[in-house]
Amino acid sequence: MNKLSVILLFVLFTFSCKTNQPKGSLSEGNGLFQLFEVEEGREPFYSNKEGVFAKKGMVASAHVVASEVGKEILRKGGNAADASIATFFALAVVHPFAGNLGGGGFAVVRDTQGEAFALDFREKAPLAAHRDMYLDENGDVIKGLSLKGHLASGVPGAVAGMVELYEKMGTMKWADLLQPAIDLAENGVILTEGQARGMNNYKKTFQEVNGEDTPYFIQPDGREWQTGELFIQKDLAESLKRIQSDGAKGFYEGITADLLVKEMQDGGGIISHEDLETYDAVWREPIEKDYKEYNIISMPPSSSGGVALIQLMKLVEPYPLKEWGWNSAKTVQVMIEDERRVYADRAKWMGDQDFVKVPLKELTSTPYLSEIWASYNENKASLSSEIEAGKIPYYESDQTTHFSVVDKDGMAVSITTTLNGAYGSKVVVDGAGFLMNNEMDDFSIKAGVPNMFGLIGNKANEIQPGKRMLSSMTPTIVEKNGDLFLVLGTPGGSTIITSVYQTLLNVVEHGMNMQQAVNALKFHHQWLPDKVFMETNALETQALSDLLSLGYIMEIQNRTLGRMDCIMVHPNGVLEGASDPRGENTSVGF
Ligand code: GLY
């Protein structure tokens, strides 16, 4: 049997297995938006989960308790920045998989006047880091060194980021924003099924990195965690209290800094007091571009997310995607081909703009995009081996978590934060109770060698002391005719960009409401490897067969794409919180 027949059979088999879900129709949602028309017999959604609707404020995050914490801050009169800070610290307690004190991230903010801001609190390479630190004497990558253990960590940016956000935009008392997280760490949080499973799955690695008695994440008697059990983190509560009383100094100096540096020294890491004291989060100019009547506002480097999202959107803008239909062969083909070209660009041009000149304007300009699109041929799949990044003539040179917040005055915050892998480097800072990131793997540790997401990098993203590693995080805000419309984002490593891209197109081209756009099945191409990864059922049989006949290598994955947490502002001002059914994500509004 040839490959095509095997895949088609598999698709047909999975269609027939999904008999418990209604076919060919969709629940009504709130009726505010024209419903996306579902082809008879087709099941294009991961689930029929419905959005959460509210008038005054909304928080969409990976954990119901963190969303509740944010909502309570909004209810008490805090703005979206206040609620985001409280949600952030709550996630560090209730969602240790990705929520963090020992990681970093990005925030895109739109204030009540419509002014947009971007905050970069990405981790930095320690000052003692160097380009070849993960290579052996033969110049080969030492497997796992950038992923696990003390050397894998960048200098954390999360606490500096939250302090910076507060100083510019916060309105409530700083101490009050930390208190809910402190209470959760001190009194315990009830483990969800996902949280218990996650900690049990990584038990061996925790022991490998921290020893048999890894605090918190392994039970003292070696028992497995159970759903519904109370998870108490006393040391983390003390670390949070120091941040509560001393702000950034409560983390980057004093007891917490001493504990972190000692942990590094004991475990062979290189983060020093100087690294911590000199860390700074920076405000950057957000990257913005129009798309039809919309304006996309997103994150510039050190994340590649914003530039890539805008390139993707501008490349498909001339095509009648709505007329061609959602995930029809024609629609998917132009999307695959623009993803291929944009990820090739990412590998070549993108890095920390404090260290390398990233040609931001050029990369999203019409002449440049026309140049990289010139090789597109609708009659056959391009080959990634023949696609290179475009030329800029005068140029010199799964784990993360996302949450979205909108307050009653229309201020919006979109934050994506990460430890990189699940539980980061797995290093728990002894006595301080938090996990360290393994973000160093997001550097190009050797030119042309893929990182854990299969992403290739080059000189622009090589390791240098104090440099931020390139990210794919894509916290995004979209305006429609000048008004706040969407707040978007997701975890997912290299698939973040394409998940945000598809969710956005699902709304602006295919007329889905926010939850439908999130629920919709997704696919992903990232230039290399030269394959289209698909969620089961993402393409109907005819579209799949058409694409195969054009030469695309399609792979149905036994994994999901995206864990979106998004908010849509409907024309009547109602907020629709849409949290991804693929995880335990929950929107809470009031
Ligand atoms: N660590 C994943 C990213 O920043 O893209």
The CB of 401 under 6 Å from ligand 1? The reply is no
Residues 6 or more apart in contact with residue 115 via CB below 8 angstroms:
none
Q: Looking at the structure, do residues 222 and 265 belong to the same domain, yes or no?
A: yes
Residue of 399, 401, 439, 526 to test ligand 1 pocket, by largest number of atoms within 8 Å of CB:
439
Q: Is residue 23 part of a domain?
A: yes
Residue 80 and residue 36 share a domain: no
Of 15-19, 229-233, 515-519, the one with minimum mean pLDDT is 15-19
What DSSP line would sit under 76-96, residue for residue? TT--HHHHHHHHHHHHHHH-T
Average pLDDT over residues 292-300: 98
What's the average model confidence in pLDDT over 104-108? Answer: 98
Q: Is there a domain that residue 464 lies in?
A: no
Does 33 map to a domain?
Answer: yes
Helices 193-201 and 203-210, axial angle in degrees (round to 10): 50
Q: How far is the CA of 52 from the centre of ligand 1 (A)?
A: 28
21 and 85 together in one domain: no
Res 391: pLDDT: 67
Judgement on whether residues 257 and 211 belong to the same structural domain of the protein: yes
Q: What is the pLDDT of residue 42?
A: 52
In a domain, 588, yes or no: no
Phi, psi dihedral angles at 76 (to 5 degrees): -80, 0
In this prediction, residues 181-194 reach a mean pLDDT of: 97
pLDDT at 525 over 50: yes
Q: Is residue 193 in a domain?
A: yes
Q: Is 420 in the pocket of ligand 1 (CB under 6 A)?
A: yes
- What pLDDT is attached to residue 517? 97
Residue nearest ligand 1's atom 4 by CA? 471
Active site residue 536: no
Residue from 453, 455, 498 to probe ligand 1 pocket by mutation (most atoms less than 8 Å from CB): 453
Query: Which residue's alpha carbon is at the smallest distance from atom 3 of ligand 1?
Result: 471
Q: In what order do the strands lie in the sheet with 287-291?
A: 52-54, 575-579, 565-569, 483-488, 476-480, 294-298, 287-291
5, burial (CB in 10 Å: exposed 0-12, middle 13-18, buried 19+): exposed
Mutation test residue for ligand 1: of 416, 441, 472, 490, the one with most atoms within 8 Å of CB: 472
User: What is the C-alpha to C-alpha distance for residues 136 and 133, in angstroms, rounded to an integer?
Assistant: 8
Residue of 398, 442, 445 with the most ligand 1 atoms within 8 Å of its CB, for mutation: 442
Q: Do 79 and 172 reside in the same domain of the chain?
A: yes
Question: Which residues, in sequence order, are bridge partners of residue 468?
Answer: 124
Our answer on whether the CB atom of 400 is closer than 6 Å to any ligand 1 atom is yes
Which pLDDT belongs to residue 13?
A: 40
In short, whether 471's Cβ falls inside 6 Å of ligand 1 is yes
> Of 214, 331, 364, 400, which residue is the catalytic one?
400
Q: How far is the CA of 130 from the centre of ligand 1 (A)?
A: 20
- Residue 43, pLDDT score: 66
| Alpha-carbon gap, residue 34 to 288, rounded angstroms | 27
Domain that holds residue 555: 1-41+530-560
Overall average pLDDT of the 537-552 stretch: 90
Regarding whether 272 and 171 lie in a shared domain, the answer is yes
Predicted pLDDT at 372: 95
Mean pLDDT (whole number) for 314-324: 97
Question: Could you give the CA distance from residue 52 to residue 36 in angstroms, rounded to a whole number?
Answer: 18
Does residue 26 register a pLDDT over 60?
A: no
Domain boundary residue among 416, 439, 462?
Answer: 439
Kindly state if the Cβ of 473 falls inside 6 Å of ligand 1: yes
Ligand 1 pocket residue status of 442, Cβ below 6 Å: yes
Q: How far is CA 538 from CA 18, 76, 583, in A?
A: 13, 42, 18
Q: Average pLDDT, whole number, for the chain?
A: 91
Tens-digit pLDDT profile for residues 370-386: 999 999 999 999 998 88
pLDDT at 36 > cutoff 80:
no
Percent of the chain with pLDDT over 90: 82
Q: Is the CB of 513 under 6 A from ligand 1?
A: no
Pick the closest to residue 302 from 110, 439, 456 (CA basis): 439
Atom of ligand 1 nearest to the CA of 421: 1
Percent of the chain's residues with pLDDT above 70: 91
Total-model pTM: 0.92
Q: What mean pLDDT do residues 385-396 have? A: 65
What pLDDT is stored for residue 215 in this prediction? 78
77 and 16 belong to one structural domain: no
- C-alpha 322/C-alpha 506 separation (Å) is 9
pLDDT number for residue 222: 84
Structure token pair of residue 361: 């304007």
Among 146-150, 397-401, 547-551, name the one with the lowest average pLDDT. 397-401
Q: Ligand 1 atom 2: the closest Cα is on which residue?
A: 493
Burial of 306 (0-12, 13-18, 19+ CB in 10 A): buried
**Which DSSP string corresponds to 199-245?**
HHHTHHHHHHHH-TT-TTTS-TT-PPP-TT-EE--HHHHHHHHHHHH
Domain count, the chain: 2
Angle at which helix 366-373 crosses helix 305-316, to 10 degrees, equals 70
Q: What is the mean pLDDT of residues 530-540?
A: 89
- pLDDT per position as a tens digit, 259-280: 999 999 999 999 999 999 999 9
The residue ranking higher by pLDDT, 2 or 49, is 49
| Distance in Å from the first CA to the final CA of the chain | 56
Is 506 within a domain? no
Is residue 201 located within the same domain as residue 277? yes
Assess whether the C-beta atom of 418 lies below 6 angstroms from ligand 1.
yes
Write the pLDDT tens digit of every residue in 54-94. Answer: 999 999 999 999 999 999 999 999 999 999 999 999 999 99
- Kindly state whether residue 455 falls inside one of the protein's structural domains: no
Kindly report, residue by residue over 421-469, the tens digit of the pLDDT: 999 999 999 999 999 999 999 999 998 888 888 888 788 999 999 999 9
R_g of the chain, CA atoms, integer Å: 23
pLDDT at 389: 73
Ligand 1 close to Cβ of residue 493 (< 6 A): yes
At 575, give phi and psi (nearest 5°).
-95, 135
pLDDT confidence of residue 386: 86
Same domain (yes/no): 86, 216: yes
Q: What is the mean pLDDT of residues 495-504?
A: 97
Per-residue pLDDT band for 511 (boundaries 50, 70, 90) equals: very high
Closest atom, ligand 1, to C-alpha of 470: 4
C-alpha–C-alpha distance, residues 417 and 424, integer Å: 12
Res 18: pLDDT: 39
pLDDT tens per residue across span 445-457: 998 888 888 888 7
pLDDT at position 393, please?
A: 52
Q: Has residue 165 been placed in a domain?
A: yes
Is there a single domain that holds both residue 224 and residue 269?
A: yes
Band of the pLDDT at 398, cuts 50, 70, 90? low
The mean pLDDT value for 462-487 works out to 97
**Upper half-sphere CA count for residue 29 (Cβ side, 13 Å):** 24
Q: Return the closest-CA partner of residue 486 out of 417, 575, 400, 584.
A: 575
229 shares a domain with 110: yes
Based on the domain organization, do 9 and 86 belong to the same domain?
no
Helix H or strand E encompassing 512: none
> Quick one: pLDDT band at residue 6, thresholds 50, 70, 90?
very low
